[in-house]
Amino acid sequence: MYRATEILHDPTLAADSGDMIINIGPQHPATHGVLHLVITLNGETIKKVEPHLGYIHRSIEKMCESLSYRQFIYATSRMDYLSSHINNHGCAICVEKGLQVEIPPRAKVIRVLMDELTRIASHTLWWGAMAMDVGALTPFFLAFREREMINDIMEETCGARLTMNYMVPGGVMQELHPNFQKKVKEFITLFKLKIHEYDEMVTGNIIFQNRMKGVGVLSTEDAISFGCTGPTARGSGVSCDIRK
């Protein structure tokens, strides 16, 4: 669990309420975007969270005013370093549409393959880190065990393991590595065998369930109002997949 930078008792709370106000951040190592949260706790139940944003601004928009379209790709890789390919892809498509450039079908397929591998790697890190945040350390190491296979695949083709800068306006930087197809098939075969292990350790774990159920519930209406997409929206009952 997170260790607070300081703990303050709210004097307005009743002495016997058991509520506690905890400040997390903004210089906390677990808050990757330098986020400050003021959390009201009652035991292990989070009753209220007040986020305070704006502690960091990397000036990406300003930097890109002086960059060419090809140079900008290197900045998009770092907007979300766990989804480097996907960010590069979105930027490249935007430039191609503006210039009315049609890229080769093979490049389109390669881009989607890389996106999907990236998505799996990102989700794998998420469930491992999520389990660790609520007290389970083992899932974190197992999640990285499979994620490492994807990183190896990326390194062979792209020359990097995290911020790949592989997709550019007009296609991709270079052809796939000769081992790509073989290693992806090996990964998929192994990954399918591991899903039940993840399910048993995390999804089916009664301690994990007790610490998660009913916490931070996002209604269908709020999910739509906030513009949530992907698993967040579907988890709130929004039947929408923007990829379709």
pLDDT for 107-135, tens place per residue?
A: 999 999 999 999 999 999 988 988 888 88
Residue 207 lies in a domain: no
Phi, psi of 42 (to 5 degrees): -135, 100
On the question of pLDDT at 71 being above 50, the answer is yes
Residue 1 lies in a domain: no
- For residues 231-240, average pLDDT: 88
Residue 200 lies in a domain: no
Same structural domain, 87 and 188: yes
Same structural domain, 35 and 81: no
Whose CA is closest to 114, among 89, 141, 90?
Answer: 89
On the question of pLDDT at 67 being above 60, the answer is yes
Per mean pLDDT, which range of 64-68, 168-172, 181-185, 240-244 is the poorest?
A: 240-244
pTM for the whole thing? 0.76
**Cα(4)–Cα(133) distance, integer angstroms:** 13
pLDDT at 6: 39
Residue 202 lies in a domain: no
Last residue of a domain, one of 35, 52, 69: 52
Bond from prior residue into 104 cis (ω within 30 degrees of 0): no
Residue-number span of the structural domain to which 233 is assigned? 217-244
Counting the structural domains of the chain, the total is 3
Residue 37 lies in a domain: yes
